[in-house]
Structure 1
Amino acid sequence: MQPLTDLLRDQHVQMRRLLDEVRQLGIGSEAGRERLRQARALIVEHLRQEDAELYPSLHRTDATQALAQTYADEMRQLSGEILAFFDSWQHGGDDLAFARHYGRLMGLLNRRWTREEVRLYPAYERHCLRTDAA
């Protein structure tokens, strides 16, 4: 079985790929909107896994409780903005407006993904993997 943090990192790669395909195909095309739906579904699953598996493990460990709370609180705020992006473009729309909104979303996601991969996931691997495997 793949370790949780490896799975979450792989999902980041898949989300980037799908979102790049949306940008390349264009929001006006059915193929672009299909990739958008796929990216949304993957993000929702990713958030579910973090809520169900990652954060509870981090909360059970004294060394990572505060970090987990900070990241979970931040994600609760960001998730509405992220999902609103997908919902607002599900039927297509103006390419220029989409490009601006897409750029803001990717900036937000890339900052978050980097912070997770540099700080949150290593904390989980260092402090929680031994306990979760037991």
Structure 2
Amino acid sequence: MSALIEKFKKEHSEIVAILKDVKKLGIHSEEGRSKLMSAKEYLLEHLREENEELYPVLRKNTKHNKNLKKDLEIFAIEPEYVSRVVLEFFDKYSEGTINKDFQINFESLFTALNARIRNEEEALYQEYEEIMKKMGGVS
């Protein structure tokens, strides 16, 4: 497995653990909100790296791989959508203002991130690994 994919999988585990901790602590508790807000930069950096290092390689190789093309068409909006959901959530709540939609928006964030992680790990990472092997190296 490439170093990049290992790194992303490790980060996925950490992100899921943070989100589960937040749910366990309670999204409305000071400790839960604090833990979530402290993860903002880590989460945004992870998404940025995937959007810049993973998806361009995959998109560039769709010409010769119909399965990959189909997978990326299915997930086409998803990477940008998840990034937007995350940014909007943190923009809205980073000042500490909590409204009645906070729980619903957190659940949307949690669901979107879990879906992205599952899609990447089940469908896209293996494709990336195969592309890198064909290119004669691993990143």
Aligned residue pairs, count: 132
Give the 3 Å change call, closer, same or farther, for CA 19–3 of structure 1 in structure 2. Answer: same
Q: State the match for 1:82 in structure 2.
A: 86
| Segments of 4+ moved more than 6 angstroms | none
Identify the residue that residue 93 of structure 1 maps to in structure 2: 98
Question: Counterpart amino acid of 2:98?
Answer: G
Per-residue Cα deviation, 1:13-40 (whole angstroms, up to 9, x for no partner): 11112222333154441x4343223322
Measured in 2, the distance between the counterparts of 1:132 and 1:67 equals 23
Alpha carbons 1:36, 1:86 under 8 Å: kept: no
1:59 aligned partner: 59
Superposition CA RMSD, Å = 2.8
Question: What is aligned with 1:18?
Answer: 18
Give the share of equivalent positions with the same residue, in percent.
Answer: 27
Shift of 1:10: 1.1
* TM-score of the superposed pair, with normalisation by structure 2: 0.74
Structure 1 unaligned segments of length 5 or more: list them. Answer: none
Letter in 1 for 2:19: L
TM-score, length-scaled by structure 1: 0.76
Mapping 1:1-134, distance limit 5 Å = 3-23=3-23, 24=25, 26-29=27-30, 31-61=31-61, 62-63=64-65, 64=68, 67-68=71-72, 71=75, 73-90=77-94, 91-94=96-99, 97-131=101-135, 133=137
Q: For 2:133 and 2:39, locate their aligned partners in 1 and report how far apart those are by CA, in whole Å.
A: 28
Please state how far the C-alpha of 1:118 moved relative to its aligned partner: 0.3
- How much does 1:88 deviate? 2.1
State the secondary structure of the residue aligned to 2:40.
helix
Contact persistence 1:22–1:32 (CA under 8 A): yes
